[in-house]
């Protein structure tokens, strides 16, 4: 994007108007409700410095996903999800019949200070019989002075059915949420939020998924976090319903995805795919993708993410085992004008096992 970059102050000189704009644009209800409630208790209901801290706390939720207005999606979400299936479905483990290593770096909303930056590392492999598979993944997100780290262990049991394999997967996750108040720019030194909110919290969680694939198509469904985590400083913890608190709840997420590869000619392939995300108490969101591949070496694609924007992708197979990708997200929301977009880099490598590994590139 060319031209001068503008700031909120030019359109919303009043701090309360800035707060309302950002909240309506980005954040889930729970975090804001908690801090506003605490502000009223302390007679700070009109103190927007306190509310600014709540807004930065909300950036944590952004770092875990792509929001549409009014949504509260908190699990990590990437544009190149078709090559990062382990991020949201444990049943994806071992599906490439190789020891697969994947790294992904995502930098969101260039031009906005403190915008989220995410790194992901994952590896997964089947056992010798190919009937069981194991996976490990680590995700780290940083947004302003708020960060989180997730470490997951996955297990998948694979059953040959028809031309493909059906996998049932289980996940165990350890989740650490951190707030570095020393990096916070508190305009009011008497703000009570730092004393109320812990610097670090740890939560366990669990998930499951199902995944079926052949050489040409796939379909899957998953719930990567079954338990509901609450960041309520009075009673942080986990539950199945979240009914015991209304403050800063990380809701359960549901994912459904699928795709198919069509051979248009001996050198051109087309792959439409879709990812549907459902979050409790939030609108449905869908990624609609269309990719083309040429000579099994180079790929281009585009995606539309409902309520968010467009994604443009480039992929290149450096060797039959090494695959690199790049994605650029262009926002179609009110963020347009404040950011030039988001960038994502991906690298995967398959260590092929014998003659029955990934001998021909599979595009998922």
The per-residue pLDDT for range 310-359, each reduced to its tens digit, is 999 999 999 989 999 999 999 998 888 888 899 999 999 999 755 555 54
pTM of the model: 0.76
The per-residue pLDDT for range 129-177, each reduced to its tens digit, is 889 999 999 999 988 888 889 999 999 999 999 999 999 999 999 988 8
Does position 24 have pLDDT exceeding 90, yes or no? no
Per-residue 3-state assignment (H helix, E strand, C coil) for the chain: CCCCCCCHHHHCCCHHHHHHHHHHHHCCHHHHHHHHHHHHHCCCCCCHHHHHHHHHHHHHHHHCCCCCCCCCCCCCCCCCHHHCHHHCCHHHCCCCCEEEEEEEEEECCCCCCCCCEEEEEEEEEECCCCCEEEEEEEEEEEECCEEEEEEEEEEEEEEEECCEEEEEEEEEEEEEEEECHHHCCCCCCCCCHHHHCCCEEEEEEEEEEEEEECCCEEEEEEECCCCEEECCCCCCEEECCCCCCCCCEECCEEEEEEEECEECCCCEEEEEEEEEEEECCCCCEEEEEEEEEECCCEEEEEEEECCCEEEEEEEEECCCCEEEEEEEEEECCCCECCECCEEEEEEEEEEECHHHCCCCCCCC
Amino acid 245: pLDDT: 55
pLDDT (average), residues 31-59: 37
């Amino acid at each position: 994007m060319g031209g001068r970059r503008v700031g909120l102050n030019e359109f919303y000189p009043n701090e309360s108007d800035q707060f309302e704009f950002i909240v309506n644009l980005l954040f889930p209800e729970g975090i804001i409700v908690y801090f506003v409630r605490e502000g009223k208790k302390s007679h700070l209901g009109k103190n927007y410095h306190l509310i600014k801290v709540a807004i930065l706390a909300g950036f944590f939720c952004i770092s875990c996903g792509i929001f549409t207005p009014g949504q509260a999606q908190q699990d990590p979400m990437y544009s190149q999800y078709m090559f990062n299936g382990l991020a949201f479905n444990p049943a994806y483990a071992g599906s490439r019949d190789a020891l697969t290593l994947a790294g992904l770096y995502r930098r969101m909303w260039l031009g906005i200070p403190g915008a989220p930056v995410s790194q992901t590392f994952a590896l997964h492999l089947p056992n010798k019989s190919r009937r069981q598979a194991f996976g490990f993944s680590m995700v780290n997100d940083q947004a302003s002075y708020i960060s989180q780290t997730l470490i997951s262990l996955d297990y998948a049991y694979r059953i040959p059915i028809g031309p493909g394999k059906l996998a049932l997967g289980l996940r165990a996750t350890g989740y650490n949420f951190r707030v570095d108040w020393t990096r916070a720019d508190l305009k009011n030194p008497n703000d009570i939020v730092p004393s109320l909110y812990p610097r670090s919290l740890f939560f366990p969680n669990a998930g499951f998924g199902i995944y079926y694939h052949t050489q040409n198509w796939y379909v899957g469904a998953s719930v990567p976090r079954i338990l509901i985590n609450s960041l309520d400083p009075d009673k942080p913890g986990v539950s199945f319903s979240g009914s015991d608190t209304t403050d800063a709840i990380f809701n359960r997420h549901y994912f459904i995805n699928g795709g198919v590869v069509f051979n248009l000619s001996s050198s051109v392939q087309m792959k439409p795919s879709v990812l549907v995300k459902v979050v409790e108490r939030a609108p449905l969101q869908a990624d609609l993708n269309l990719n083309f591949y040429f000579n099994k070496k180079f790929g281009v694609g585009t995606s539309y993410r409902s309520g968010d924007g467009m994604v443009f992708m480039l992929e290149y197979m450096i060797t039959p085992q090494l695959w690199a990708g790049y994605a650029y997200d262009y926002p179609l929301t009110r963020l347009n004008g404040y950011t030039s977009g988001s960038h994502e880099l991906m690298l995967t490598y398959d260590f092929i096992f014998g003659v029955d590994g990934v001998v021909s590139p599979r595009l998922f």
